[in-house]
Structure 1
């Protein structure tokens, strides 16, 4: 068996009438496998793009409706890190009119913001009539991130939990359509 393996290592192979070394054979196999994997990804991406089109069309119609009626929408994209919030926002807004929507992604609170009313940094980004604002993370950061990384005190967290429902009810009562989405992806799915 060992002699056969040694012989295998030294022999050249013939492919389509051409002599090929073992290294070249393996290299071609790897390249072919990578090309196939790339092609499969491209096919999968194209299929996903096709599946998204009806939803993108609905968003365009919704956006036109907002322009005509002067209504406003806030869409919150929340979820775990690497769950696809930002990528989803990019894909669904691809064909929307940029004059009538904004994407807002705020970082951790500044020292100045820590001294202000918690919602203040979000309110300045709220939509005007006929506009849609998509928040890539939102005020729910207080409950999901800030409390975990000590960006807020326990009291600030508790105050948020007591007040968030009322804050959102006021938003809706004053004519803002509020849509909240939560993304969660398993570690196995993230690895794919």
Structure 2
């Protein structure tokens, strides 16, 4: 065999410095996640992570980076589909309870019971009465989870309307991503204002002291993934924990649920999204959402 056939062929590839830094920081954070998982197993802890956000916010990619090096025997991702005929007759939270973590487990919900606060409400898959009932019950339900000893993280990935539109177009062009598009996704841009109102009422009702929301800007997917892991690790202790520049949260991209409520109220006051509300009366609907959430 000739020397030509024995030798490997190489190509020169240019990689951005920012990409190399991202990969290095991600690896460091994933190592810390493994340490945390070992601690969870050793101590019999129960960890629940809820990841919410609009369509195209980057939930799937974030969960992938969060879990890709964890031991699957101690980490589960839950992504429930449409409830079946039997589940539709049950108490709304019932089918989610079976998936809550046991001792030594980390469970991640890729969307959760908050479907009722968002897509179900906006798309008319539940009645206004069911939506209002959910907003009243969810703080009580989550308080019980918290009191049972579950370490509970509620994280909302926040994407802009322009960035969401860009990602939808990318999905249409990429055969490997087209499965992510659904009729509900295609309505997301048209109903942007409605989803904003739903998000606001959700935060007002469920951003509690025991189970607060954390908002992460996800217009830059890579930064969002890093900040997601950084935030979780910042709230836990475990043997051999290391910190450094790689673990520093970007405070410009991570904010509390309370800060997000104030931000949304300021934007509503400036009338930024009036043209996006389905009936053209965004400010009035925003006030109605406040009344509903506080009832």
TM superposition score normalised by structure 1 = 0.74
Judging by fraction of residues, say which structure has more strand. 1
What is aligned with 2:68? 94
What is aligned with 1:62? 36
Aligned residue-pair number: 156
Tell me how far 1:46 sits from its aligned partner. Answer: 4.2
Matches of 2:14 and 2:88 in 1, distance apart?
A: 49
Maintained 8 Å contact 1:55/1:92: no
Match of 1:104 among 74, 78, 83: 78
Tell me how far 1:43 sits from its aligned partner. Answer: 6.2
Tell me how far 1:59 sits from its aligned partner. Answer: 1.6
List per-residue Cα deviations over 1:101-147 (Å, max 9, x = no partner): 00011122223221101111111111110000000001111101111
The two structures, once aligned, show a CA RMSD in angstroms of 2.2
What is aligned with 1:173? 147
List per-residue Cα deviations over 1:49-79 (Å, max 9, x = no partner): 2221232122212211110111101100000
Matches of 1:55 and 1:109 in 2, distance apart?
A: 35
What is aligned with 1:157? 131
Alignment of 1:1-192 (within 5 A): 39-40=14-15, 45-190=19-164, 191=166
Maintained 8 Å contact 1:52/1:92: no
Larger radius of gyration between Structure 1 and Structure 2? 1
What is aligned with 1:30? none
Structure with the bigger RCO (C-alpha within 8 Å, sep 6+) is 1
Alpha carbons of 1:149 and 1:110: their partners in 2 closer, same or farther (altered >3 Å)? farther
Residue segments in structure 1 that go unaligned for 5+ positions in a row? 1-35
Structure 1 runs, 4 residues or longer, greater than 4 Å off: 42-46
Alpha carbons of 1:188 and 1:69: their partners in 2 closer, same or farther (altered >3 Å)? same
Alpha carbons of 1:70 and 1:152: their partners in 2 closer, same or farther (altered >3 Å)? same
What is aligned with 1:12? none
Residue segments in structure 2 that go unaligned for 5+ positions in a row? 1-11, 168-295
